Amino acid sequence: MKYIALVPVLFNLLSCGSGSSSDSSAASLQAEIMDNLGNSSAEIELNVSCSIVKANDSQTDLEKCETRFEGSQREWLIFTPVKNENQTNLPSPLLISLHGGADYAEYNVDYTGFIPLAAQEDIIVAYPQGAEDTEKGVTGWNAEYIGDAGRADDVKFIHLMIYWIGSNYHVDLERIYVAGFSNGARMSHHLACNLESKIAAIAAVSGSMGRSTYQNCATPNPLAVMQIHGLADVNEYAVESDFTESPETTITFWKEVNDCGNFEQQALADQNGDGVGGSLDIHSACSYELEVRLIELENFGHEWPSIGNGKSNADIDAAQIIWDFMRDFDAQGFRE
């Protein structure tokens, strides 16, 4: 099956602290975008072509959607649960999963393990593909966009993808979540600062906040945040470096944004038999009943944590831990 959808889109690049919480319909989202129009706005016709493909590790049907954006071919994969095909059911939350640097959406489908969970929990999952960096020659996310020529504006690209999915699927736009790995984790923090009115929660795995994002994200809206860090991870996206803030600094940033007043630490049990586990730091009593969490895994490096699937040997299953956290929040804060 292949189809083409033409969607007229009005958009602008939302900046830190702008906008309000999204409503649960595509029409309301378009109205919000129009309310925020400024000198940077533009009107385009988004031409999206989608076809059915198979997931790497199973016979699961995905849609591969392609479009032209700022002169380049961009694409995303999308999983739609069976329940969502009947729009008499409640709208589904949208989870956006961002791959790492020198990585691809199709591999992210495989190692994150979100699809079995999404089928069970009625979640739409989108896996956008990062553009190739012309200087480095590898794929990734431009998580420090400041308008420099020749670099992809990935904030705007994901903004448009969210709008298109909201216009073409049965989506609860109050429940948009972002999970990212490595460079994708860095991008999740960047999106939280630039698309905060669209995102209810983020989960950053093996990647921390970029220094430019940290310095320029002055007035972000509160949202739920989870950071997962392996204590043996020395990758420059995951630890303090010339262009990355440490996981601890990143968590402190979001704790202060959310005005959290309580802290507790829990031990994580050894599940993989290496003799060590980890810790879970929980910052609670936050505004809008949000939470900020840091998971640190002993003896674990630059990987996506999973259990029992042969892809990594961790003490937690990141997909399940992330969803159990995210599901409690929407764009208004804690879900009753």
Which amino acid appears at position 58 of this protein?
S
Residue ranges with strand state E in 206-297: 224-230, 262-268, 278-284, 292-297
Domain boundaries, the chain: 2-334
Q: In the predicted model, what is the mean pLDDT of the chain? A: 86
Give the per-residue pLDDT at 38. 33
Of the pLDDT bands very low, low, confident and very high (cuts 50, 70, 90), residue 56 is: low
Q: pLDDT tens across 182-225, in order?
A: 999 999 999 999 985 689 999 999 999 999 999 999 778 899 99
Where is pLDDT greater, at 33 or 288? 288
Rounded mean pLDDT of 126-134?
Answer: 92
Residue 37: per-residue pLDDT: 31
pLDDT tens per residue across span 144-173: 865 555 678 999 999 999 999 999 999 999
* CATH of the structural domain 2-334, one choice from 3.40.50.1820, 3.30.1300.30, 3.30.70.260, 3.40.50.1100: 3.40.50.1820
Concatenated DSSP letters for 110-136? HHH-HHHHHHHHT-EEEEEPPEEPTTT
Predicted pLDDT of residue 26? 43
| CB neighbours of residue 326 within 10 Å | 22
Residue carrying the six token digits 């309580």: 262
Strand duo 224-230 + 262-268: pairing? unpaired
- Name the band, by pLDDT with cuts 50, 70 and 90, for residue 45: low
- What does the pLDDT read at residue 18? 33
Which of the four pLDDT bands, split at 50, 70 and 90, describes residue 328? very high
Mean local confidence (pLDDT), 99-127: 96
- Residues contacting residue 98 through CB under 8 Å, at least 6 positions apart: 108, 128, 130, 141, 178, 179, 180, 181, 183, 184, 185, 187, 188
pLDDT for the residue numbered 84: 73
With CA atoms as reference, report the closest residue to 96 among 66, 145, 51, 130: 130
